[in-house]
Every structure is written in structure tokens, then in C-alpha cells.
Amino acid sequence: MNSYRCEWRGPIQAKSGLGTASRGYVRALRRHGVAVSAGGRTGAAPKKQAGSHTVLICHTQPHRVQVEKEKKRYARVILNTVWETTRTPDRWKLNMNRFDAIFVPSRQNREALRSSGVKVPIYIVPHGVNTGEYRPDHPKMQVPGAGGRFVFVSVFGFQHRKNPEGLLRAYWEEFSERDQVLLIIKTNGYSPSENEAWIRSQIRRYKQQLGITKRTAPVLVIGRRLSPEQLKGLYTLGNVFVLPTRGEGVGLPFLEAMASGTPVIATGWGGHMDFLNSGNSFLVNYKLQQPGVSMGSRHAISRRFRSSFANSGQRWAEADLRSLRLQMRTAFENPGLCRRKGIQARQDASKLSWDRSGAMMKRAIELTLRQTKRQGLKRRSPTRP
């Protein structure tokens, strides 16, 4: 049994990617013999008395943690976080170097934090995927009109970083009603008013704005919550998963699609490039640019989150639409290639378990405990004459 225990503060109950990650990490740590109590959001009072052998892990953004206050109650205070551009938001910077260590899920995240001036130890602790739940033989979701068509599936929140306008424009310009294809977008807004009807109206207005009057290949928008079984069936319904994202810390839908045996079309930059490659995916060319450029464009149709993504020095990837169109066309015309890439994707995803993530996080926790202790001993040791 370990000589320490952990308290986890994060969105453990949330029905979001962060919630999935919180639950995945906590369960994996427990399977590796770490005693973990899972509290609520950061700032909430702990359920158990903290002590000299308790490590606090905050799965949140750094500016939401009172680090110095928490250090008086816990042996170590660790930040577990994620970011999607080349630099973190300005409001993060004051707190970042107060933590004993920071855990991030990808190399892109580590580079972003170092570029933002982080000096404390940074450990890569990747996300995992449950290949027992997401699997190629899961029954396909029943969708009217999908039969006999090549199905593109995309799963994302309806925000500018996910580049919904790039996906739609490439699809409309590349495929006509004569092509036996279907694009299914599973998405959600970020307020009660951003419901399915609102999202469909934004898409309809964007098509009109582009001056597209001809009949195009069909798009189905699902803006409501799906059950876990329906979501798994949506991945297996797809011949390919497509998302020309501008930036991902990880990209859980990519992992879920891969585990489902569905190959991915994705922008070739971001945290997802730790596990996507030309053998399991179709990669889209890109250029790095400041987020404000596309946010100020007439093509922006979804929530922007400017306060997070329009800070000085930040850049993210802008997918090349010609490259995206080419990869979508290549996938459509080569179903055998899609199947081969899907088989490889499933094999690669099988190596990315949450147990692996838990083992890596446990090791990082113990390195943090030992490293900080050594630093303390060094500071207290007498100076040699």
C-alpha cells in the first residue's frame, strides 16, 4: 500500500470530455492501488481531513486554485490541465509556477506551457480510451437516410475552435447531391438558447451567405444529447470520422472513433498528433495563425470564447480547405483504404488504455513527492566550510 493518498478535485460528475477524463484518471489510479477521494469542483471543502501524506490534484484551470492556501493543508499540490493553442491564456500565468508539478495529456500541451513561462516540472499523462466500450462490433445507430451512403461523422461542441464552418464548406464544395454521401454532425451549444434549432439556423444562414444555391449532399445535425449507447453506435455507423479542428489538447472523440475501428480525418496539428498518424488517419495540411484572424472572419458561425483564445502570442492551426476536400474525397472513393486504416486505428487505440494512463500518473505523483523532498533537503542542508 502506498504511503500517500490523493484528493481529486475536478468535474468528476460532468457529462463532458473533462468529466470523462476525471473519471478515467481516478478509476485508473485506484486500480493501481492509490487511495483517491474524489471531491467536487476546485475550491470545495475536502471530504476528509488533509494531512502531510495527502496529495491534492486539481483537474481544472490554474487561475481557479488558491495554491498557497492549499499548500498549507496538503503535502503537494498538483495541477492537471489541458490547453489547445501554442500558449496559455494570460490569466493562467500568475498561478502556474506555484504548483509543485503540472500534469498535461500531450506533447503539444507541454510545449505550450513551456512557451508560456512554466518552470515547474511538467509530466505528460495521456488520456485513455475504453476499448471494451468503444469497439467495431457495437450495433450501428439507426439513422434514416444513411443506408447505402458513405457516412462522414463528426462529434464536437459548436464553438469556433472546432472549425464547423471549415467542415461544412469543404463538404458542400466537394460533394453534390449525386454523391452517395451523408455528413452527420453531433454537436451542442453552450447556453440554453444554443439549441439544435439555433445551430441548424446558423448552418442554414452560413450556406446562404456562401451563395450556395445548388442542391448539395445532405447534412444531418444532431444537437441533442445522445445516450452512451447511441454515441457508440454513431461512431460505428461512420465510414470515417472528420474534424478539421484548430486545436486540441487531446481530442477524445478521435480516440473513441479509433477504438470503434473508424479512421479519422483531422488537422495535422495538436495534442491528437500523439496518437494519429498516416497509418490510422487522413491528415489535413494547415498553417499556424493567430486565433483572432479567423474569429474576425465572416465565416465564423459559432461561439468564439475570445477571452481564452485571443491573447497575445497565441496561435492555432487553420486547416487548408483544399487539403480537407482532398482527404474527404480520397476516403469516399477508397472504402477499402478506410477499412485498413480503421483496423490500424483500432490496434493503435488498444495500446492507449486508462490503465496505462493511471500507471503514468502514479509514477508522476511519486516523482513529484521525491523531487520536492530532495529540493527541501538541499535547502535545509548546512553550507560546507
Most confident of 36-45, 66-75, 261-270: 261-270
Q: What is the pLDDT of residue 119?
A: 95
Q: Which cell goes with 117?
A: 513561462
Q: Is the pLDDT of residue 50 over 70?
A: no
| pLDDT tens digit sequence for 254-305 | 999 999 999 999 999 999 999 999 999 999 999 999 999 999 999 999 999 9
CATH of domain 150-350: 3.40.50.2000
164 Cβ contact partners less than 8 Å away, ≥ 6 residues apart: 156, 158, 185, 187, 203, 301, 302
Strand order in the sheet with 101-104: 35-38, 5-9, 54-59, 76-80, 101-104, 122-124
Tell me which residue of 127, 131, 107, 132 sits closest to 358, measured CA to CA.
127
Q: What is the pLDDT of residue 42?
A: 44
Q: Is the pLDDT of residue 377 over 50?
A: no
CA dihedral 366, 368, 370, 374 (to 10 degrees): 180
Task: Find the mean pLDDT for residues 124-152.
Answer: 96
Task: Find the mean pLDDT for residues 115-120.
Answer: 95
Task: Find the mean pLDDT for residues 72-101.
Answer: 94
Mark out the alpha helices in 17-104 (DSSP H runs).
Answer: 17-31, 67-71, 93-96
Residue 364: which H helix or E strand, with range? helix 354-380
Return the CATH architecture of domain 5-128+353-379.
Answer: 3-Layer(aba) Sandwich (3.40)
Q: Is the pLDDT of residue 378 over 80?
A: no
> Can 5-128+353-379 and 150-350 be said to share one CATH topology?
yes
Q: How far apart are CA 141 and CA 238, in angstroms?
A: 9
| pLDDT tens digit sequence for 321-340 | 999 999 999 999 999 999 99
pLDDT category, 40, cuts 50, 70, 90?
A: low
Q: What is the pLDDT of residue 373?
A: 53
pLDDT category, 372, cuts 50, 70, 90?
A: low
Residue 28 buriedness (CB in 10 A; 0-12 / 13-18 / 19+): buried
| Half-sphere exposure for 239 (CA within 13 Å, toward CB) | 22
All structural domains of the chain with their residue ranges: 5-128+353-379, 150-350
183 three-state secondary structure: strand
With the C-alpha atoms ordered 226, 233, 278, 338, is the resulting torsion angle positive or negative? negative
| pLDDT tens digit sequence for 235-256 | 999 999 999 999 999 999 999 9
Q: How far apart are CA 278 and CA 375, in angstroms?
A: 43
Task: Find the mean pLDDT for residues 183-190.
Answer: 96
Grid look-up 498535461 returns: 104
Q: Which cell goes with 301?
A: 458561425
Q: What is the pLDDT of residue 254?
A: 98
Instruction: Calculate what percentage of the chain has a pLDDT beyond 70.
Output: 93
| Half-sphere exposure for 319 (CA within 13 Å, toward CB) | 32
